[in-house]
C-alpha cells in the first residue's frame, strides 16, 4: 500500500464551480500535512498547510480527518488559473520524512 | 537569488556517461532534499541532508547514485554510468528545518535529465 494515495482525476470543471478531492495516508502517526500545487513542467509550490481544526485560505479549504486518515481540499469559485496538479504531502513519524501523493489533476474550463 | 537554484536545468547525456547535478539551497536552510519525478509520476524521495550529513539515503535507487553536501550549503547528486531509466526531473528542495516538523520546503525548478 502506498503511503499517500490520491485520485489522479482529472477533474474537469467549469469556471465558478466548486471542486473537492481527498487524499488518504497510511501512517497513523503522521504529524504534518500539506497541499502543494504543481503546474505543468514546473516545480511544486506550497499551497497550504493543513491543520487539525481545518483551515481556509481564500477560496481554498483544507480539512484533516485523523480517524479516517484522510485530508481534503476544496476549491470554491474555480478560476482558470486553478488548473494544476495538486499534491498531497504527509509528514511521517520522524521529523523530516515527507511522502508525496502522485497528485490530482484539476482542469478548469471557460 | 532568493530561491533554490539548480543546475543544469536541462541535460542530455549518452547512456553510460556520468552526470553531476548541483543544488544551491536557500541561504540558512539546514535541511536539503533530493527527489526524482518521472513523467506523469509522483515525487520519489532520494536523499535527505541535515547540515552536511545524510541521515537518510534510503531512496537512492542503486549504488550508481551518490550525493554529498559541503559547507552546509551546496549539494551535488552524481549518477554514474547513466541508464535510460534514469531519465527524469531531479528536484532539490530546502527548508529551515526538517520538513516533517511543519517547516515549509521550497523546491528548485529541477534538472531535467534525458539519457539517450
Among residues B41, B33, B29, the alpha carbon closest in space to that of B59 is found at: B33
Q: What is the pLDDT of residue B21?
A: 98
Q: What is the pLDDT of residue B103?
A: 82
Q: What is the pLDDT of residue A31?
A: 86
Q: What is the pLDDT of residue B27?
A: 94
> What residue in B sits closest to A103 (Cα-Cα)?
B42
Mutation to test the A interface, candidates B2, B100, B112, most A Cβ within 10 Å:
B100
As beta bridge partners, residue A55 has A62
Give A61-75 pLDDT, tens digit per residue: 999 999 999 999 999
Q: What is the pLDDT of residue B22?
A: 98
Query: Would the CB atoms of A87 and B45 count as touching at under 8 Å?
Result: no
> Given a cut of 70, is residue B1 above it in pLDDT?
no
Give B76-96 pLDDT, tens digit per residue: 999 999 999 999 999 999 998
Give B4-42 pLDDT, tens digit per residue: 999 999 999 999 999 999 999 999 999 999 999 998 788
Distance CA A47, CA A35 (A): 5
Cell representation of residue B71: 559547507
Residues of B with CB under 8 A from a CB of A: 31, 33, 35, 41-43, 45, 48, 50, 55-56, 91, 97-102, 104-110
Amino acid at each position: 500500500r502506498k503511503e499517500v494515495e490520491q485520485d489522479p482525476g482529472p477533474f474537469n470543471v467549469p469556471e465558478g464551480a466548486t471542486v473537492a478531492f481527498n487524499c488518504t495516508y497510511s501512517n497513523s502517526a503522521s504529524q504534518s500535512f500539506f497541499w502543494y500545487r504543481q503546474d505543468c513542467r514546473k516545480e511544486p509550490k506550497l499551497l497550504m498547510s493543513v491543520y487539525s481544526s481545518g483551515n481556509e485560505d481564500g477560496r481554498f479549504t483544507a480539512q484533516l480527518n485523523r480517524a479516517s486518515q484522510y485530508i481534503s481540499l476544496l476549491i470554491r469559485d474555480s478560476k482558470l488559473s486553478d488548473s494544476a496538479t495538486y499534491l498531497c504531502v504527509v509528514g511521517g513519524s520522524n521529523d523530516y520524512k515527507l511522502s508525496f501523493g502522485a497528485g490530482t489533476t484539476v482542469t478548469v474550463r471557460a | 537569488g532568493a530561491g533554490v537554484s539548480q543546475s543544469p536545468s536541462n541535460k542530455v547525456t549518452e547512456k553510460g556517461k556520468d552526470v553531476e547535478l548541483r543544488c544551491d539551497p536557500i541561504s540558512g536552510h539546514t535541511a536539503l532534499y533530493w527527489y526524482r519525478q518521472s513523467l506523469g509520476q509522483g515525487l520519489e524521495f532520494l536523499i535527505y541532508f541535515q547540515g552536511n550529513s545524510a541521515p537518510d539515503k534510503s531512496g537512492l535507487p542503486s549504488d550508481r547514485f551518490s550525493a554529498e553536501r559541503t559547507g552546509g550549503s551546496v549539494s551535488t547528486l552524481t549518477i554514474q554510468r547513466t541508464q535510460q531509466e534514469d531519465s527524469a526531473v531531479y528536484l532539490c528542495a530546502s527548508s529551515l528545518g526538517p520538513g516533517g516538523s511543519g517547516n515549509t520546503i521550497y523546491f528548485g525548478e529541477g534538472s531535467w535529465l534525458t539519457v539517450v
